[in-house]
Chains A and B, each alone.
Chain A
Amino acid sequence: MGWLPAPVEQLLGVALVGELTVVGRGGGPVTHPLIPLYDGKRIYMHSSTLFSRKLEHIKRNPHVSVSLTDPVAMTGRYGRATIQGLARVLEDDPHSGWERLILELWRRKEPMIDAFLKMGSRCRSSSNAR
């Protein structure tokens, strides 16, 4: 499949949550639990675009890590891994570009995503992504 060690790719393939850690404004770690979407080359994650502190942090310092730790979020698998790398914010086409990149990967982990997308918003809350 990809180039990460097979056990790590297996965890990425099932993980409903991974911990994205970025370098905060003061130089310390800031961690965000997010769903990791892996296409065999890159790990994609997603965020609100407005007032997102993690995006600000990444733009200022692209050094990040993604850790996989929770067996409950990995269909009972007990392996753990931390992956370090450089992140880049993709915001060229915030309206539909993200769907082309990650929707199919996302759908495999969260089949209800299509229903969520159709339902629209009944409770505005984007602060979790800050």
Chain B
Amino acid sequence: MSGVNAGQLAKLAEYPFVVVSWIDDAGYPISVAADFQTDTIRGSVALRAPQGEAVAIPTDRQLSVLGSHIRPKPGEGYDERRYLQLWGRAVAGGDAQHLTFTPNRAWGWDETERCPSSSTRSAQFRSRAATWHSSPPRRGG
């Protein structure tokens, strides 16, 4: 069993896809979206990178696997923000297209659990005071 419990894996299973990230050989983070399936018995996640992705998920370094959700509200913005992130490593799976990811740590956030009232957003706007920008990107597309 991994360091992540079955409840956390069950929560991850509620997301439609995950974003898999790692640090590439040049020292930059990189991410791909992947289909996935959780295995609460083994404490693992089967990852499948979508066809057409130009990069392959590595097996020789730490990965983060993120499920994220919002609900757009046209004319207003969005709500229902939540996410769950797992860290660990992957090994090659039973075929060339799949990997088995075993997480050892998890972190999540859900605005409805943190602040169940409808004013969730307002507090965070008050607290956001710093901005940053990225420039110049090395790669787009």
Query: Measuring CB to CB, which residues of chain A are less than 8 angstroms from any residue of chain B?
Result: 4-5, 7-8, 16-17, 19, 21-23, 26-31, 33, 41-50, 52, 55, 58, 61, 63-67, 69-70, 72-73, 75, 80-91, 94-95, 97-98, 101-102, 109-113, 116-117, 119-129
Contact = CB atoms under 8 A, between A and B. Distances in A.
A42 B137 CA distance: 9
Contacts, number: 236
B96 interface: no
Give the secondary structure class of B's interface. Answer: strand
Nearest to A38: B133
A13 to B, nearest CB: 14
Interface residues of B, number: 59
Given A16-B77, A69-B33, A129 B127 contact: yes
Given A90-B131, A98-B129, A121-B123, 10 more contacts: A47-B130, A48-B127, A61-B27, A72-B72, A73-B70, A84-B30, A88-B133, A94-B130, A117-B125, A126-B124
A118 to B, nearest CB: 9
B117 interface: yes
